[in-house]
Homo-oligomer: A and B are copies of this chain.
Amino acid sequence: MRNATGPDPTATPDRDPDRLLPADRRTRSIARDLYDRVATAPIVSPHGHVPVDWLVRDEPFRDPAALLITHDHYITRLLHASGIDLADLGVGGSHADPRSVWRRVAEHWHLFAGTASGYWMEEALAGGFGIAESLHSASADHIYERVQTLLDTPGYRPRALFERFRIDVLATTDDPLDDLRGHAELARTPLPGRVLPTFRPDRYLDPSATGFRSNVHALLGITSAPATFAGYLQALEERRAHFIRHGAVSADHGVEEPYTVDLTPEEAESLFQAVLAETADASQVRDFRGHMLLQMARMSVDDGLVMTVHAGVLRNHSSPTLERFGPDTGHDIPVRTDFARGLRPLLERFGLVKGFHLVLFAVDESVYSREIAPLAGFYPSVFIGAPWWFLDAPDAMARFRSATTETAGFSRGSGFIDDTRAFLSIPARHDTARRADAGFLARLVAEGRLRLADAERIADDIVGPQPRRVFKL
């Protein structure tokens, strides 16, 4: 189906309709039926990074490069690895001619064969813009122009795409001091789905974060809370309440290690003063961070925000790149992670509290069968976060399901999370997860391990009801 403003994004010209499904014929046939049940289900996206302003202002996307390349550090990082200067891709505010950026990508498009990013981009071009041609030097300009032409039409404005993508819920990620005016405005705008803020307080909790002291002082200032640990907690609570008033359902925490510590109020106060005075040593800084993660759980218990933890990433591995281009420019590297010991103090206190939801996202695959599935298979509060970041790709998703299902089944999962600011790739990412899950379920059916009726129920559940339950939507 085509309409005046562009192709139907669910039709993907020249794409294999069975793509990502298992090769085995019988398994594929089961998988296809499972996938067909959910292929066009509305998108529930309870964690992501789309800027709310895009939807508030609803202005046309500027150009194909800005939309599809420059902010997608999956794409720019692999080009960088192949010798292209990030400046030539417009990263970090560098000035680069968008058409040149696009050409550069097209010339190197063969690098993305077999990658998740390559797949998403091709899905977005085909599904979003009806482009069947593959990307290479000769097709670059032609494709650029076609995308640009469509971007200039009303049907490609953010809200039109939001509707066409069948997005039912979209969560953004926001700074605790954000006034959330955008969300308030959007709530008054007719839109077929909800856009919710997410409370993301990392830089107010980690003394080693850039600007920590001034962040804390700004937080205390905005809330008029006293410069004590109790005041600091109160300020955070007030901001969470502000988020909840604007529809937030979750608070997200990005940490290098999922480490928690319980402290007495006196210990916490003294540590708080030490980190503000910058007299705390590395171990005290770690303990402060660990205590604040535990306090965030305590607040979630109190105010009902779902707590999500994205753990195990060493941010900004390359200091020269950070200095030149800023954060989120492709050099965050996963490290090994210890959830079982690190989260124990938190779970000792809150793990059994009814209504507390803690979703654990990992980029260290070894924890899936070892720690995450066993934790989620016991604690009513713990949910298994979908494979994330480097792992939100078909093979990694299959490994994830294989590693967690036999211990914890399907009911302890979070449902898929796209975690992206690449707006155009959202349908492709959810579609990838749906195909991957259909393939996994089909294998269990083909191997006589799951009844077809159960597979159908599960396929239906994980694309909608499951994330709604887990994220209290």
Which residues on the B side are within 8 Å of A369 (C-beta)? 365, 390-391, 396
A333's contact among B20, B82, B374, by CB below 8 Å, is which? Answer: B374
Docked Cα-Cα span, A72 to B154, in Å, equals 60
Docked Cα-Cα span, A399 to B366, in Å, equals 13
Docked Cα-Cα span, A116 to B399, in Å, equals 17
Chain A window 422-444, contacts with chain B (Cβ cutoff 8 Å), 1 for yes, 0 for no? 00000000000000000000011
Nearest CB to that of A381 among chain B residues?
B81
B447 x A20 contact (CB < 8 A): yes
Looking at A23-31, A53-61, A99-107, A193-201, the stretch in contact with chain B turns out to be A23-31
Q: Which residues of A, 1-44, contact B by the 8 Å Cβ criterion?
A: 15-16, 18-27
Nearest CB to that of A363 among chain B residues?
B370
B409 x A111 contact (CB < 8 A): yes
- Number of chain A residues close to chain B: CB under 8 A: 94
A21 x B447 contact (CB < 8 A): yes
- A19-B335 contact given A115-B407, A318-B352, CB 8 Å threshold: no
B331 x A335 contact (CB < 8 A): no
- A81-B334 contact given A320-B352, A370-B363, CB 8 Å threshold: no
A449's contact among B114, B344, B406, by CB below 8 Å, is which? Answer: B114
Q: Which one of A19, A118, A395 has the greatest number of beta carbons of chain B within 10 Å?
A: A395
Expressed in whole angstroms, the minimum distance between the Cβ of A404 and any Cβ of chain B is: 10
Q: Which residues of A, 76-99, contact B by the 8 Å Cβ criterion?
A: 77-78, 80-83
B378 x A331 contact (CB < 8 A): yes
A80 x B380 contact (CB < 8 A): yes
B340 x A338 contact (CB < 8 A): no
A340's contact among B314, B405, B407, by CB below 8 Å, is which? Answer: B314
Chain A window 400-424, contacts with chain B (Cβ cutoff 8 Å), 1 for yes, 0 for no? 0011011111111000000000000
- A20-B449 contact given A111-B411, A377-B77, CB 8 Å threshold: yes
Asked if A142 is at the interface (CB within 8 A of a chain B CB), the reply is no
Docked Cα-Cα span, A114 to B458, in Å, equals 10
Asked if A376 is at the interface (CB within 8 A of a chain B CB), the reply is yes
Docked Cα-Cα span, A382 to B395, in Å, equals 23
Asked if A212 is at the interface (CB within 8 A of a chain B CB), the reply is no
A114's contact among B81, B396, B409, by CB below 8 Å, is which? Answer: B409
Docked Cα-Cα span, A208 to B321, in Å, equals 36
Docked Cα-Cα span, A329 to B315, in Å, equals 38
Q: Which one of A16, A369, A371 has the greatest number of beta carbons of chain B within 10 Å?
A: A369
Docked Cα-Cα span, A48 to B454, in Å, equals 32
A110's contact among B15, B318, B351, B454, by CB below 8 Å, is which? Answer: B454
B82 x A348 contact (CB < 8 A): no
Expressed in whole angstroms, the minimum distance between the Cβ of A20 and any Cβ of chain B is: 6
B81 x A378 contact (CB < 8 A): yes
Which residues on the B side are within 8 Å of A336 (C-beta)? 336, 338, 366, 370
Nearest CB to that of A27 among chain B residues?
B23
Docked Cα-Cα span, A410 to B82, in Å, equals 12
Nearest CB to that of A373 among chain B residues?
B390
A408 x B81 contact (CB < 8 A): yes
B395 x A402 contact (CB < 8 A): yes
A318 x B335 contact (CB < 8 A): no
Q: Which residues of A, 325-364, contact B by the 8 Å Cβ criterion?
A: 330-336, 338, 340-341, 344, 347-348, 351-352, 354, 363-364
Which residues on the B side are within 8 Å of A451 (C-beta)? 113, 134
B375 x A333 contact (CB < 8 A): yes
Which residues on the B side are within 8 Å of A402 (C-beta)? 395, 399
Which residues on the B side are within 8 Å of A18 (C-beta)? 448
Docked Cα-Cα span, A176 to B405, in Å, equals 37
Asked if A273 is at the interface (CB within 8 A of a chain B CB), the reply is no
Asked if A112 is at the interface (CB within 8 A of a chain B CB), the reply is yes
Expressed in whole angstroms, the minimum distance between the Cβ of A398 and any Cβ of chain B is: 9
A394 x B449 contact (CB < 8 A): yes
A393's contact among B77, B371, B406, by CB below 8 Å, is which? Answer: B406
Which residues of A come within 8 Å of B, CB atoms? Answer: 15-16, 18-27, 77-78, 80-83, 110-116, 118-119, 134, 314, 317-321, 330-336, 338, 340-341, 344, 347-348, 351-352, 354, 363-366, 369-371, 373-380, 382, 390-391, 393-396, 399, 402-403, 405-412, 443-444, 446-451, 454, 457-458
6 nearest A-B pairs in the assembled complex, by CB-CB distance: A19-B448, A16-B448, A393-B406, A23-B446, A113-B454, A333-B340
